[in-house]
Amino acid sequence: MTLNRISPEKAEELCRNGAKLVDIRGSDEHVRAHIPGSRNIPLDQLGPLEGDEPVIFHCRTGMRTGSNAEKLALCCNGNGYLLDGGIDRWKAEGMPVTEDRSQPLPIMRQVQITAGTLILIGVLLAAFVAPGFIWLSGFVGAGLLFAGLSGWCGMATLLSAMPWNRKAAG
Roughly how many angstroms between the first and final C-alpha of the chain, as a whole number?
A: 32
- Evaluate whether 26 touches 105 at the Cβ level (below 8 Å): no
Q: List, in order, residues 6 or more apart from 25 with CB less than 8 Å away.
A: 40, 42, 43, 59, 60, 64, 87
- Evaluate whether 55 touches 76 at the Cβ level (below 8 Å): yes
Catalytic residues, by residue number, are 59
Q: List, in order, residues 6 or more apart from 160 with CB less than 8 Å away.
A: 107
Number of helical (H) and strand (E) elements in the chain, helices listed first: 9, 7
